[in-house]
Structure 1
Amino acid sequence: MATDGVGTLEQALANGRGLLAHDPRGALEQAHAILTVDGRNYDALRLRAAALRRLGDSDGAERTERHALENFGQSRTLGAAAAALARGDLRAAEHMLRPHLAANPDEPGALIMLAELVNMLGGYAEAEALFRRALAIMPNFAEPRLGIATVLFRQGRPDASVVELQAILAADPGHEGATRQLANTLGHLARYDEALAVYERFLAAAEGSEAARVGYGHMLKTVGRTEEAIAAYRHVLSQRPEHGEVWWSLANLKTVRFDADDIRQMESGLGAPGQSPGDRAQLHFALGKALEDAGDHHAAFDHYASGNALVRAGMPYDAAAFGDDVSRTIAALPAGLFTARGHESEAPIFILGMPRAGSTLIEQILASHSQVEGTAELPYIPEIARELIVEMRQPFPELLAGLPDARLRELGQRYLDRARFHRSSDRPRFIDKMPNNWFDIGLILLALPYARIIDARRHPLDCGFSNFRQYFAQGQAFSYDLADMGNYYRDYVRLMAHIDAILPGRVHRVIHEELLADPEGETRRLLAALDLPFEENCLRFHENSRAVRTASSEQVRRPINRDGAGRWRAYEAWLGPLKDALGPALESYPDAPER
């Protein structure tokens, strides 16, 4: 059969599809003829898979579907949709994929691509259904099951996510993606011993796996096995000395001092061929820390600035638009909105505010109390806010004003159900220390009116510069530019001042410098605000062996110290944009500006 022309090729495909229903073997022969000429032809591979399925060869059909997925770019529709996704145009991709799937309802590539897109948009239930349809067609293919596991976790069903990931590893113990996702999920559930065991089994059989060993190092750090974490990181560097994430992981321990040889290796790594912007940025941040420790503040700031610029280039942030969102939020939260209409639970304690403001220290103090359990930075308040936007198709936070009492109680219960997976004790209170929850404080106050809220506040220059020298694993787009940082801090102070004005005393504020100066007095005031009796263990927080996932993990394993206080002063010459953006928020600290 000649297939030397678009028309001829399309006719051959049409003939094969016409044969499929009544003569699958003829359709298979037609697909084979096309693939003899063009072995990567996506449509012919899909035709071959459909014919094999009709002939009862499900294994052969699945192998062919996998081959088709490897060549989805040959599909006009899927290739165009993938290009739209790559440039961030989710709606354009959706408008291509939905009609394509309506005409081809059993196409795994289209199902998986649309599921991933819907997942990005927060439509978790639909994404799960799409992944499950793809899995039914390709039951031995790990990708849709990985997608199901991701969606289950985002729906607050991590235990179910674990089951799906374990199923992948039962069939393929060497699947690195499932290994890392399972270990991370177990870590989020505070099942750290199991998570470490998952990594250890995998690494015993796959010594050369770089990403898994880095993940293993992160998990060791979380549980306080610092020397073993350092050994895991150094093992990776012995194989790839330009690995930016590992150098930053060592720097982020805050306790590692780099020597001259380390600095030379990092500087050489900056010129490594093919290095990603993320790896290069993390090398800059690690070098900044190394040179700061060596007392070369000018060179350190240059590296911090270079690292921030690299991240900022790939993570756009609109400070003016965010400021407008804060203004809208203030307008949408009048005093009369807040009555005790939500869930009656008194269990949650929210610690919120700016990142790098001392929230981990407050958490560690409280988690040393016999009635309080520390969990993590839980993602569920912003997640529920996003779900409300999808469910109600209304702007947030304006939609909060129209929520009936029953819906508010349901939202409070939704949060508690998801948070429950992070709890491992019967202590009556638990901590959620997601700092960015300040932006969604209206949702907290309405859905969980009896929850306690602690605002962790630190000097704006110390806090701002601490963020500027920190590479975050995800998010915090405001932190990679000094002016953006100042605007973000000012907006945070502005919203919290509004809450203070309409609900005086509702939020307990901890000023970081006052806690460092008078740990016992501030701890007593903190516990009193939470209606908790004073316990001496809270002053010995550094003896608490609980896992800590944040960048301050090693710092809170030592007694209170002032090592980071006033660090900005050595860099004051370069902090003009931060000072200018902060304006009155700097001048009036620790009080909020009058306007």
Structure 2
Amino acid sequence: MPASWPRPEHPTDLPTRAAGLAQAQLRELEAAARLIREGALAPAQQALGALLVQAPEHPEVLRLLGILHTRGRQYDAARTALGQALQHWPDDPLALTDMGNAEQAAGDVETALAYWRRACALAPDYPMGWSNLGRNLQVLGFTEPAVEALEHACTLGPSLLPAHVLLGDALVHLGRFDEADRRYRAALALHPACGDAWRGLANMKTRPLSAEDRAQLVALLKRTDVAEPDRIALGFALGKASEDQGCYEEAFAAISDANARQRRLAPWHAGGFHAFVESVLAAGAKLPASPHAALGEEAIFIVGLPRSGSTLFEQILAAHPQVEGASELPDLGEVLVEESARRGQPFPRWVPTTGAEDWQRLGRRYLERTARWRRQRPRFTDKLPENWLYSGVLGAMLPGARIVDVRRDVLEAGWSCFKQQFYRLPHFACTLTDIAAYLRDYEAAMDRWQAAAPGRIRTQPYEALLADPEAEIRALLAFCGLPFDPACLDFHRAMRAIRTPSAAQVRQPLSRGTARAEHYGRLLDPLRLGLGRPLAPR
């Protein structure tokens, strides 16, 4: 190892990490790191390109190159660059963490966890390492170990704000709501305007926010020094607190303002989305028949509009001894993104050129990426709502899979979407008219696919479950090829981590008192108009 590249004494000590670089090179390194954080990958590549000419073996330069390749989905190149960095600094927790990130992005979860755990073992007093491990364990569905790691991070770094919030999230997912409340409020003691902490409190749907919470949120939103992302989250929380207190006009005003701010960050375009859905329908009109009709029979996809009850139906299925509830998995979309990158064309443009063997390969890739969810039980659920877009091509890719299309009263579902903060932008839920447009496209596409393949796709009304739970649960299990099990009737007793905003709601017995839209009267008329519903009485 060159003497000018000493191993950093502390993982985040930039002067020693950049030792051996001239001041001008250090500025280029910092600029490249900033560009990567901002998602400006092409300019970051340019900045790193100059550094690689001048210092091609510098471990910190190589580490940043590995991060850049991971962000650009070039996973083999990322492994190579990070591996070269680790040849110089084999015990560097940051490079090990980044290698874990690259492995996770490539779909190798076990290898990723090994790297993250090694990073913590090598820097046991580094709270950010434990926080990163906990965050990734939580994302991967290992919630109880995530709690342990995040508790360790909070002990080592009591002022580490993200660790408190992440720990609150993990505790919510385990149903430990009192402890979660304390963690979120510990974060607010550090930073009263912490949007993520208020978001966590508001997402515990069955626990009302107090009048004192509402007053504090009003005061915080009057301040001029609140960052825009925090202001948006505070607005959604104020909407929840106002609704909890029966102040519906104030709730609607707060939620509308938060949505308007969110939409300005990245507007969603209804016309462009409609054209995309039409292209998906057209491309999948003549898919090749699979020679392996049972491929994918392990998978049960639960799709639909967010906030329509998909978590509830997953909880019912996950109570069955043969089914693992895997929550919202990114793998299906990732497999199609990988194929798009391989072909140099976006989905669904390349679909008409595919053969049965292509779809079989993609189906097996999905099953490979999700194999860990079948270690304890033979079947699993994948309940990412927007997977409805792929319901057509799933007939060729995973013909044995079952798709449950959850439908809820569109006014209730649409309003529930409007008052929920979504982090993936742009998002259709920022205006009532966009929600209506999205609903029309979704229902039209799913109705078409369901009519063509009723044995593969089941339309499951939420209200039907409330009206006759046992009959609906029996029919759902039969559709999925599962024998009836009485545990599914007591789904709320199932002990599992639930990683969605419905984590509190589905731990309770069924209730018919969940309607909220009626309180808002004419305020929801833009949604009614877009859905072709009668307007509210004047």
Q: Give TM-score scaled by structure 2 length.
A: 0.90
- Structure 1 residue 128 displacement after superposition: 2.5
* Whole-angstrom CA distance in 1 between matches of 2:471 and 2:22: 65
| Residue matched to 1:298 | 249
- Residue 278 of structure 2 corresponds to 327
**Equivalent residue number for residue 313 of structure 1:** 264
Q: Which moved more, 1:323-332 or 1:500-509?
A: 500-509
TM-superposed CA distance for 1:339, in Å, is 3.6
1:170-226 deviations in Å (ceiling 9; x for gaps) = 122233332222113323444333222212223233333222121111111111111
Q: Which one of 421, 430, 442 corresponds to residue 380 of structure 2?
A: 430
The answer to whether the aligner puts 1:350 opposite 2:301 as a matched pair is yes
Could you tell me how far apart the structure 2 residues matched to 1:299 and 1:69 are?
Answer: 58
Alpha-carbon distance in 1 for matches of 2:7, 2:25: 24
Q: State the one-letter code of the partner of 1:573.
A: R
Give the distance between the partners of 1:79 and 1:207, measured in 2 at CA: 28
Counterpart CA distance in 2 for 1:52 and 1:79 is 19
Alignment partner of 2:459: what SS?
Answer: strand
Residue of structure 1 in register with 2:233 after alignment: 282
Amino acid at match of 2:4: L
Counterpart in the other structure of 2:528 = 579
SS at match of 1:455: strand
2:412 aligned to which of 458, 462, 487: 462
Rg (Cα) greater in structure: 1
Distance 1:100 1:209, change over 3 A: closer
1:166 alignment counterpart:
117
User: For residue 393 of structure 1, what is the amino acid of its counterpart?
Assistant: G
After superposition, the Cα gap between the structure-2 partners of 1:257 and 1:80, relative to the gap in structure 1 and judged at 3 Å, is closer
Match for residue 493 of structure 1 among 443, 455, 466: 443
Question: Partners of 1:569 and 1:406 in 2: how far apart?
Answer: 51
* Distance in 2 (alpha carbons) for counterparts of 1:484 and 1:515: 28
After TM superposition, give the deviation of residue 81 of structure 1 in Å. Answer: 5.3
- For the residues of structure 2 that align with 1:436 and 1:106, how far apart are their CA atoms? 43
1:564 is aligned to 2:514:
yes
Q: Deviations over 1:367-423 (max 9, x none)?
A: 112222212111100111111111111231232333344433332222122212244
Shift of 1:78: 5.3
Deviation of the 1:551 alpha carbon: 0.7
Match of 1:385 among 324, 328, 336: 336
Change (3 A) 1:300 1:330: same
**Which one of 58, 63, 70 corresponds to residue 119 of structure 1?**
70
CA deviation map 1:136-181 (0-9, x unaligned) = 3444443332221112112221221111111211122233332222
TM-score (norm 1): 0.82
Tell me how far 1:126 sits from its aligned partner: 2.0
Instruction: List per-residue Cα deviations over 1:537-594 (Å, max 9, x = no partner).
Output: 21111111211111111111111112322x12222322233334434xx68xxxxxxx
Give, in angstroms, the shift of residue 104 of structure 1. Answer: 4.5
Structure 1 position 219 matched with structure 2 position 170: yes
Q: How does 1:500-515 map to 2 (within 5 A)?
A: 500-515=450-465
> Out of 396, 414, 420, which is 2:365 matched to?
414
Instruction: Work out whether 1:396 is the aligned partner of 2:347.
Output: yes
Task: Tell me if structure 2 keeps the 8 A contact 1:188–1:422.
Answer: no
Q: CA RMSD in A?
A: 2.9
Tell me the residue number matched to 2:421: 471
Which segment drifts farther, 81-90 or 299-308?
81-90
Match for 2:262: what amino acid? V
CA separation of 1:152 and 1:83: change in aligned 2, threshold 3 A = closer
Q: Secondary structure at the match of 1:394?
A: coil
Tell me which residue corresponds to 2:4: 52
* Equivalent in 436, 439, 445 of residue 389 of structure 2: 439
Is the alpha carbon distance of 1:63 and 1:547 closer, same or farther for their aligned partners in structure 2, counting shifts above 3 Å? closer
Residue 550 (1) aligns with residue 493 (2): no
- Of the structure 1 ranges 316-325 and 95-104, higher mean CA displacement relative to structure 2 is found in 95-104
* Structure 1 counterpart of 2:191, from 240, 264, 267: 240
Structure 1 residue 184 corresponds to structure 2 residue 156: no
What letter matches 1:391 in structure 2? R
Q: Which runs of 5+ in 2 are unaligned?
A: none
Contact 1:242 1:265 survives alignment (8 Å)? no
Deviation at 1:241, TM superposition (A): 2.6
Q: 1:324 to 1:461 in 2, by over 3 A?
A: same
Q: Residues 234, 327 of structure 1: CA spacing in aligned structure 2 closer, same or farther, 3 A cutoff? A: same
Any idea what the Cα deviations from partners look like across 1:426-461, whole Å, max 9, x if unmatched? x22111111111112244222211011111111222
Alpha-carbon offset, residue 487 of structure 1: 1.6
How far did 1:364 drift?
A: 0.9
Tell me whether 1:450 sits opposite 2:400 in the alignment: yes
Aligned counterpart for 2:180 among listed residues 226, 229, 242? 229
Conservation of the 8 A alpha-carbon contact between 1:335 and 1:503: no
Secondary structure of residue in 2 paired with 1:414: helix
* Equivalenced residues, count: 532
CA contact (8 A) 1:351 1:435 kept: yes
Give 5+ residue unaligned stretches, structure 1: 1-48, 588-595
> What does residue range 353-372 of structure 1 map to in structure 2 within 5 Å?
353-372=304-323
Q: Percent identity?
A: 35
The residue type paired with residue 263 of structure 1 is: R
1:101-112 → structure 2 map (5 Å cutoff):
101=52, 104-112=55-63
Who is 1:155 aligned against? 106
Letter in 2 for 1:488: Y
Shift in alpha-carbon separation, 1:337–1:504, aligned structure 2, 3 A = farther
* Counterpart pick for 2:431 among 481, 493, 507: 481
Q: Kindly indicate whether the alpha-carbon contact (under 8 Å) linking 1:189 and 1:422 is maintained by their aligned counterparts in 2.
A: no
Structure 1, 121-130 or 516-525: larger mean CA deviation: 121-130
2:391 is paired with a residue of what secondary structure?
helix
| 2:95 aligned residue | 144
State the distance in 1 between where 2:420 and 2:119 align: 35
Equivalent AA in structure 2 for residue 509 of structure 1: T
Q: Deviations over 1:486-527 (max 9, x none)?
A: 222222112212313433443101011122222122112211
Q: Distance in 2 between matches of 1:305 and 1:293?
A: 17
Rounded to whole Å, the distance in 1 between the matches of 2:205 and 2:222 is: 25
Tell me the secondary structure at the aligned position of residue 326 of structure 2: strand
Answer whether contact 2:18 2:26 (CA < 8 A) is retained.
no
Matched AA of 1:331: A
Do the aligned residues in 2 keep the contact of 1:252 with 1:551 (CA within 8 Å)? yes
What is the CA distance between 1:110 and its match in structure 2?
4.5
Structure 1 Cα separation of the partners of residues 75 and 61 of structure 2: 17
Shift in Å, 1:260: 2.3
**Residues 16-27 of structure 1: pairs in structure 2 closer than 5 A:** none
Letter in 2 for 1:261: E
- Cα gap change, 1:205 to 1:116, in 2 (>3 Å): closer
Counterpart residue type for residue 419 of structure 1: T
Q: 1:416 to 1:251 in 2, by over 3 A?
A: same
Taking a change above 3 Å as real, the CA distance of residues 470 and 390 of structure 1, as seen in their structure-2 partners, is same
How far the C-alpha of 1:124 sits from its partner, in A, is 2.2
Q: What is aligned with 1:525?
A: 475
